[in-house]
């Protein structure tokens, strides 16, 4: 709970009025009222006396074990990422869960650690049984984040929980979570902010925010295309799926996204149709894309959004291991296993990682 809530609830639990708290501390009743509304905070010199009056310790009053700044959260996550890189995913989980036990009500920390660990599982290339065990622990963290005070974090965590229930075919549970999620607002305040900054002459800030919105939109649009392709295939409409896959590739080019994204729809179609020649060609193209950095700074759409130092990074070492592991073990590639070319592709890109 934030400090204002602690003061208000503990005062009421003890049957004290704001006037009584004010008299005890030698301040005015309106000052106590402002504390409880969160408009101001008590002077640090009053903290010990206020804690004694409310019968709480200073840790609870100041929310030391609940509230962290975003920078503190980022620092903890960076430390955890380094631990995973140095000592493996098990050590990373231990560090993350230890931090969360320390700050069990900090939604930003719980969500951030869940996302970090979730991504690390994908990149780890570990056996399926071990992966499932870690995934359950990540799912528990997302569910814990759903109980935090931040509405945005609750919504994002709920989305991840619902997605997991869908994946595990627990449809009733997924529906209950979906019903709890807020409806997305039709109006976007970011575009209003862009207009305001433009009128104020803050052109660089406005451009960067507009580029961020463009990037978010590209993710949403391409994600919708991939779902449309899958649904058309489920309905047996292969021709529609093929046309959508081509449009998705064109849209990926329009949005200047990473080349890998433009191939996903086409690969989905080729795999579903078990088209050996097309599947092998697309798999090689997608594996090759892992070595092709997404040069966002060279795109007219995103050149202000990220500095050049982070725009030209190859992701091969992170994305190739899980991709190759999927090629070797996923049932959707079983129809390709009798072909030497399929084995050659896997071997070729494993060697390139060495």
Q: Is the distance from CB of 297 to CB of 306 less than 8 angstroms? A: yes
Say yes or no: 239 and 267 in one domain.
Answer: yes
pLDDT at 311: 45
Domain end, chosen from 61, 92, 109, is at: 61
Of the given ranges (26-35, 55-64, 101-110), which has the lowest mean pLDDT?
Answer: 55-64
Distance CA 66, CA 345 (A): 50
CATH classification at residue 147? 1.25.40
Instruction: Write the pLDDT tens digit of every residue in 267-302.
Output: 999 999 999 999 999 999 999 988 887 788 888 999
Q: What is the pLDDT of residue 62?
A: 64
For residues 194 and 307, state if they share a domain.
yes
Residue 319, C-beta contacts closer than 8 angstroms, at least 6 positions apart: 123, 290
pLDDT of residue 61 exceeding 70: no
HEC profile of 19-87: HHHHHHHCCCHHHHHHHHHCCCCCCHHHHHHHHHHHCCCHHHHCCCCCCCCHHHHHHHHHHHHHHHHHH
Contact 255, 222 (CB under 8 A): yes
The answer on 82 and 43 residing in a single domain is no
Among 119-133, 217-231, 299-313, the range with the most confident prediction by mean pLDDT is 217-231
Over residues 312-348, the pLDDT tens digits come to 445 667 778 888 888 988 899 999 999 999 999 999 9
CATH number of the domain at 51, please. Answer: 1.10.260.40
Q: Among 43, 61, 79, give the residue marking a domain's end.
A: 61
Looking at the structure, do residues 32 and 130 belong to the same domain, yes or no?
no
Q: What is the pLDDT of residues 158-178, one digit of tens each?
A: 999 999 998 889 999 999 998
Quote the pLDDT of residue 307.
Answer: 67
How large is the average pLDDT for residues 31-37? 89
Give the C-alpha separation, 334 to 274, whole Å: 10
Q: 119 near 96, Cβ under 8 Å?
A: no
Separation between Cα atoms, residue 116 and residue 80, nearest integer Å = 9
**224 shares its domain with 340:** yes
**Same domain, residue pair 252 and 348:** yes
Full-model pTM: 0.67
Domain span at residue 248 reads 189-353
Confidence band of 244 (pLDDT split at 50, 70, 90): very high
| Torsion sign across C-alpha atoms 26, 32, 34, 38 | positive
Query: Cα(198)–Cα(292) distance, rounded to whole angstroms?
Result: 35
pLDDT in tens, 251-265: 999 999 988 999 999
**What's the number of domains the chain is made of?**
3
- 84 or 305, which is more confident? 84
Do 234 and 309 reside in the same domain of the chain? yes
Mean pLDDT, all residues of the chain:
88
Domain end (from 145, 160, 180): 180
**Count of beta carbons in the 10 Å neighbourhood of residue 263:** 22
Residues 207 and 346 in one domain: yes
CB burial string 126-160: b at 16+ within 10 A, e below: beeeebeebbeebbebbbbbbebeeeebbebbbeb
Task: Please check whether residues 8 and 146 belong to one and the same domain.
Answer: no
Tokens of 13: 């639990």
Question: Cα dihedral sign for 317, 320, 326, 329?
Answer: negative
Give the confidence band of 9 by pLDDT, cuts at 50, 70, 90: confident
* Maximum Cα interatomic distance, the chain, rounded to a whole number of Å: 85
**pLDDT given for residue 340 in this prediction:** 94
pLDDT > 90: percent of the chain: 56
**One domain for residues 113 and 239:** no
How far apart (Å, rounded) are the C-alpha atoms in residues 231 and 243? 13
- pLDDT (0 to 100) of residue 145: 93
Q: Which of 325, 341, 207 is nearest to 276 (CA)?
A: 341
Structure tokens at 133: 């065990």
Q: What is the pLDDT of residue 63?
A: 59
Q: Classify burial at 37, counting beta carbons within 10 Å of its beta carbon; exposed 0-12, middle 13-18, buried 19 or more.
A: exposed
238 plus 137 within the same structural domain? no
Do 52 and 74 fall into the same domain?
A: no
Q: How confident is the model at residue 144 (pLDDT cuts 50, 70, 90)?
A: very high
pLDDT in tens, 94-121: 999 999 988 888 899 999 999 999 988 8
């Amino acid at each position: 709970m934030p400090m204002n809530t602690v003061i208000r609830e503990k005062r009421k639990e003890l049957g004290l009025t704001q006037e009584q708290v004010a008299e005890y501390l030698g301040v005015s009743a309106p000052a106590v009222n402002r504390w409880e509304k969160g408009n101001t905070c008590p002077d640090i010199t009053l903290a010990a006396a206020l804690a004694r009056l409310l019968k709480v310790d200073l840790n609870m009053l100041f929310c030391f074990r609940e509230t962290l700044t975003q920078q503190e959260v980022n620092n903890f996550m960076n430390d955890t990422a380094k631990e995973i890189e140095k000592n493996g995913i098990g050590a990373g989980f231990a560090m993350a869960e230890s931090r969360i036990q320390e700050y069990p009500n900090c939604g930003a920390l719980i969500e951030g650690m869940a996302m970090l660990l979730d991504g690390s599982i994908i990149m780890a290339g570990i056996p399926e049984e071990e992966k499932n065990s870690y995934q359950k622990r990540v799912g528990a963290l997302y569910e814990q984040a759903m109980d935090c005070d931040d509405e945005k974090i609750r919504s994002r965590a709920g989305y991840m929980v619902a997605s997991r229930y869908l994946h595990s075919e627990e449809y009733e549970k997924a529906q209950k979570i979906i019903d709890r999620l807020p409806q997305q607002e039709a109006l976007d305040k970011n575009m209003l902010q862009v207009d305001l900054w433009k009128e104020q002459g803050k052109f660089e800030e406005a451009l960067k925010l507009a580029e961020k919105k463009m990037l978010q939109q590209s993710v949403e649009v391409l994600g919708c295309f991939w779902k449309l392709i899958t649904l058309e295939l489920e309905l047996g409409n292969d021709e529609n799926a093929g046309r959508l896959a081509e449009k998705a590739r064109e849209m990926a080019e329009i949005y200047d996204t990473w080349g890998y994204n433009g191939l996903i729809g086409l690969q989905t179609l080729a795999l579903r149709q078990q088209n050996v020649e097309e599947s092998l060609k697309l798999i090689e193209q997608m594996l090759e894309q892992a070595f092709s950095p997404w040069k966002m700074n060279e795109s007219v759409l995103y050149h202000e959004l990220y500095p050049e130092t982070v725009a030209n990074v190859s992701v091969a070492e992170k994305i190739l291991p899980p991709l190759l592991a999927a090629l070797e073990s996923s049932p959707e590639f079983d129809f390709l296993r009798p072909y030497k070319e399929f084995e050659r592709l896997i071997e070729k890109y494993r060697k390139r990682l060495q």
